[in-house]
Amino acid sequence: MIDAQAGVDRPRALPHRTLTAMTSTTAPRLTNLLGMSRQQMEAFFLSIGEKKFRAAQVMKWIHIEGCDNFAAMTNLSKALRTRLSEVAEVRGPGVVYEGSSSDGTRKWVLEVEDGSYVETVLIPADDGKRRTLCVSSQVGCSLDCSFCSTGKQGFQRNLTAAEIIGQVWVAQRSVGPRRDTANRPVTNVVMMGMGEPLMNYDNVVPAMKLMLDDDGYGLSKRRVTLSTSGVVPMIDKLGDEIDVSLAISLHAATDELRSELVPLNRKYNIRSLLDACHRYLAKCADTRMITIEYTLIKDVNDQQAHAEQLAALLKELPCKINLIPFNPFPHSGYEKPSRNQQMRFQQWLYDLGYTAHIRTTRGDDIDAACGQLVGRVKDRTRRHERYIQSIQIDAD
């Protein structure tokens, strides 16, 4: 299908790592250094009788140079390189698909430990000066937002910190190593791929710390964004630990409609979510705004009354609004509003004092929207099966 698209690279099916040796009961268990924060890496080196400063050296090799071969880490002694190869490894996800769209969007389908697939998308903007990587946090998602194709695939498991930062690592290795701060292969990261990142807090936060670390990916807090559908207690916890940029998947300005689109709203309603946003901003070290993500769905939330409700709701919150035209997937039951309707909605918000950005759909020719390329994951909740059955019942 992709080969037939004009301007699209032939997808590369790259050899992916065999897990047989790792899961063998006789094989020595190697410690994967990829997902370790600075503190964890320092503890690791102390545990093998080395000095703490080795952590910074090895982090630079892994995250700046994209190196997974201890033998190539030439500023380490030969004895240490040998020791590391006996007890540790640098193991990223396997690349099973890599594709480029005619608009420059690049997408990877990555195989993680249990054979599941996750997606990572690199989106260029501003004549290539900005390259934003959309990173997944879970295999599938448990929250079942009604407009989301990932939600229809059910939930399998949380990604580990190595599997999360491994997506940045794979993208950077593919684009090229970071030689200087002015020419980064990845300039921004949004935790906005498959999954709800705050439902995987313990792995997402260490991975984001590596994104910020100067010996990791060296990104500023403003350039790392966590997008949540509104897990209120974890927003508070996040603000206590790491003040990255925060985006809220709002999509509706009334609890009635939002509960339909984002079932989590039944647990944490809009008021409690906005209160958490205010508390989060108060904890940030500098002046920030919340990004409000609003998926525009035809005849569901794209009318003038909806724009007025949204403007009234947000009037106390320092925020910017991203309008995301719904990206149709089979049997979703929703449609994308016309371009004219998208622009009318934008204008209504503008007249009410808001500048809203309409996010252009990128990478259409490689199915770059969240969850569309991976297809079905192993679904312990059997949600995908139930979803298909309900479609068939409707069609009968």
Provide the binding-site residues for ligand SF4, judged by CB under 6 A. 141, 143-145, 148, 150-151, 194-196, 229, 249
Q: Which of 141, 145, 148, 370 is catalytic?
A: 370
Cβ proximity of 290 and 247 under 8 Å:
yes
The values of phi and psi at residue 274, to 5°, are -65, -35
In the complex, least distance from residue 375 CB atom to ligand SF4, rounded to whole angstroms? 15
In the complex, least distance from residue 257 CB atom to ligand SF4, rounded to whole angstroms? 15
* Alpha helices (H) in the chain, listed in sequence order: 20-23, 38-47, 54-59, 78-87, 161-175, 201-212, 232-241, 255-261, 270-283, 304-313, 339-351, 383-395
Q: Which of 113, 119, 163, 196 is catalytic?
A: 119
CA 23 remoteness from chain centre: 28
In the complex, least distance from residue 391 CB atom to ligand SF4, rounded to whole angstroms? 18
Q: How many CB atoms are closer than 10 A to CB 340?
A: 8
Cβ proximity of 154 and 384 under 8 Å:
yes
In the complex, least distance from residue 269 CB atom to ligand SF4, rounded to whole angstroms? 16
Cβ proximity of 123 and 117 under 8 Å:
no
In the complex, least distance from residue 195 CB atom to ligand SF4, rounded to whole angstroms? 6
Q: Is 163 exposed, middle or buried (0-12, 13-18, 19+ CB in 10 A)?
A: buried
Q: Would you say 141 or 281 has its CB closer to ligand SF4?
A: 141
List, as one string, the DSSP characters of 90-105.
Answer: ----EEEEEEE-TTS-
Length of the chain: 396
Q: Would you say 70 or 326 has its CB closer to ligand SF4?
A: 326
For residue 65, give both structure tokens.
């140079």
Cβ proximity of 313 and 274 under 8 Å:
yes
Q: Does the annotation count 134 as an active-site position?
A: no
Tell me the C-alpha distance between 92 and 13, whole Å. 16
Q: Would you say 50 or 293 has its CB closer to ligand SF4?
A: 293
Residues contacting 296, CB < 8 A, separation 6+: 302, 323, 324, 325, 326, 336, 337, 341, 342, 345
Q: Would you say 88 or 143 has its CB closer to ligand SF4?
A: 143
In the complex, least distance from residue 11 CB atom to ligand SF4, rounded to whole angstroms? 24
Q: Does the annotation count 256 as an active-site position?
A: no
In the complex, least distance from residue 168 CB atom to ligand SF4, rounded to whole angstroms? 19
**Bridging pattern class, strands 290-296 and 245-249:** parallel
Q: Would you say 134 or 186 has its CB closer to ligand SF4?
A: 134
Cβ proximity of 122 and 171 under 8 Å:
yes
Catalytic residues: 119, 370
